């Protein structure tokens, strides 16, 4: 069997055109343009690319974007002062602090400083708590993008066994919680695996849907996948042969039923859901 490609970019384009339409309606009704303020500390090349892509996506959807660039030597108080200013600025609806932050800055302290109403990454503890309780204000962009892909491609989630490989706060953990919630897009039986999991291949082979977010190039091989399974590769790894996922795409596509490519899979969906959250934030604040 050769897996069908799950074209995340096409689904993301669809979502983005829906958001552009909804944004135009919002602007016409309220006379206010949603605005995302991105904060970039330091000169990490990958972060610069991510922020540029997010800004470009905003502009193409009718959302204003601002970039606040701070030097790599910025101290925590300086960054907190900027966030405080953005929290109080009524023209700004969403605040995105691009991670990672330099080592002198306490990431969790900074993420907690963002107003929960402007927290379009959904990293603030209040928004995490609401998501866990099944009454989300914002959903974190990457797992939300994966969930949208599954829903829009009519992949059965309810009752399916989903194995999430990775338990980070930004991908694995929220992904598992979202897919196990009651209701549409949820009701899955979820197993979460990580670096201390015993017999990883034995567990991943049980997955109807395998979501991989570990940050290890081509880690998941064909022998770890059940024939016909849906494989979602969240990984982005820079290698000598270019960008590759956490899944050995060429091998796994011979076993899986459906698979996301890297690039062109989950990445564009993450950006689309950021736009979704920025529009939602503007709605909440007006």
Q: Which residues bind ligand NAP (CB under 6 A)?
A: 142, 165-168, 170-172, 193-197, 200, 213-216, 234-237, 246, 266-267, 270
The helix (run of H) or strand (run of E) holding residue 159 is: none
121 is catalytic: yes
In a 10 Å sphere around its CB, with 0-12 CB exposed, 13-18 middle and 19+ buried, how is residue 101 labelled? buried
In whole angstroms, give the CA distance from residue 58 to residue 97.
16
Token readout for 177 is 């919680």
Whichever of 79 and 165 has its CB closer to ligand NAP, that residue is: 165
Whichever of 165 and 178 has its CB closer to ligand NAP, that residue is: 165
Candidate list 22, 54, 147, 248, residue with the active-site label: 54
Q: How far is the CB of 39 from ligand NAP (least distance, A)?
A: 18
Q: How far is the CB of 134 from ligand NAP (least distance, A)?
A: 22
Token readout for 166 is 């990775």
Tell which phi-psi region holds residue 219, choosing left (phi > 0), alpha (psi between -120 and 50) or beta: alpha
Token readout for 196 is 């201390």
The helix (run of H) or strand (run of E) holding residue 231 is: strand 230-233
Q: How far is the CB of 116 from ligand NAP (least distance, A)?
A: 21
In whole angstroms, give the CA distance from residue 93 to residue 286.
9
Candidate list 22, 55, 118, 121, residue with the active-site label: 121
Whichever of 166 and 257 has its CB closer to ligand NAP, that residue is: 166
Buried-exposed string 159-177: b where 16+ CB fall within 10 A, e elsewhere: ebbbbbbbbeebbbbbbbb
SS3 9: helix
* CA-to-CA dists, residue 127 to 144, 149, 172, angstroms: 14, 22, 16
In whole angstroms, give the CA distance from residue 276 to residue 153.
19
Whichever of 26 and 147 has its CB closer to ligand NAP, that residue is: 147
Candidate list 22, 98, 147, 181, residue with the active-site label: 98
Q: How far is the CB of 262 from ligand NAP (least distance, A)?
A: 8
Q: How far is the CB of 219 from ligand NAP (least distance, A)?
A: 6
Whichever of 47 and 197 has its CB closer to ligand NAP, that residue is: 197
54 is catalytic: yes
Position with the least CB separation from ligand NAP: 168
98 is catalytic: yes
Instruction: Kindly list the catalytic residues.
Output: 54, 98, 121
């Amino acid at each position: 069997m050769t897996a069908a490609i799950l074209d995340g970019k096409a689904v993301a384009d669809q979502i983005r055109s829906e958001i552009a339409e909804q944004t135009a309606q919002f602007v016409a009704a309220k006379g206010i343009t949603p605005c995302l303020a991105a904060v970039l500390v330091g000169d990490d090349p990958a972060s610069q690319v991510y922020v540029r892509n997010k800004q470009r996506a905003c502009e193409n959807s009718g959302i204003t974007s601002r970039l606040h660039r701070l030097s790599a030597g910025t101290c925590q108080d300086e960054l907190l002062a900027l966030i405080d200013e953005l929290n109080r600025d009524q023209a700004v609806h969403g605040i995105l602090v691009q991670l990672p932050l330099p080592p002198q800055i306490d990431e969790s302290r900074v993420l907690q400083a963002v107003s929960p109403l402007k927290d379009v990454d959904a990293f603030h503890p209040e928004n995490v708590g609401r998501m866990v309780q099944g009454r989300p204000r914002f959903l974190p962009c990457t797992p939300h993008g994966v969930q949208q892909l599954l829903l829009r491609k009519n992949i059965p989630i309810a009752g399916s066994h989903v194995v999430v490989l990775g338990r980070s706060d930004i991908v694995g953990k929220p992904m598992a919680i979202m897919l196990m919630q009651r209701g549409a897009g949820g009701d899955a039986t979820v197993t979460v695996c990580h670096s201390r999991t015993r017999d990883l291949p034995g567990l991943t082979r049980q997955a109807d849907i395998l979501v991989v977010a570990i940050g290890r190039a081509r880690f998941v091989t064909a022998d770890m996948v059940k024939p016909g399974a849906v494989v979602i590769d969240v990984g982005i790894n820079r290698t000598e042969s270019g960008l590759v996922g956490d899944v050995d795409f060429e091998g796994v596509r011979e076993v899986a039923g459906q698979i996301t490519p890297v690039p062109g899979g989950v990445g564009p969906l993450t950006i689309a859901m950021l736009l979704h959250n920025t529009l939602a934030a503007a709605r909440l604040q007006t």
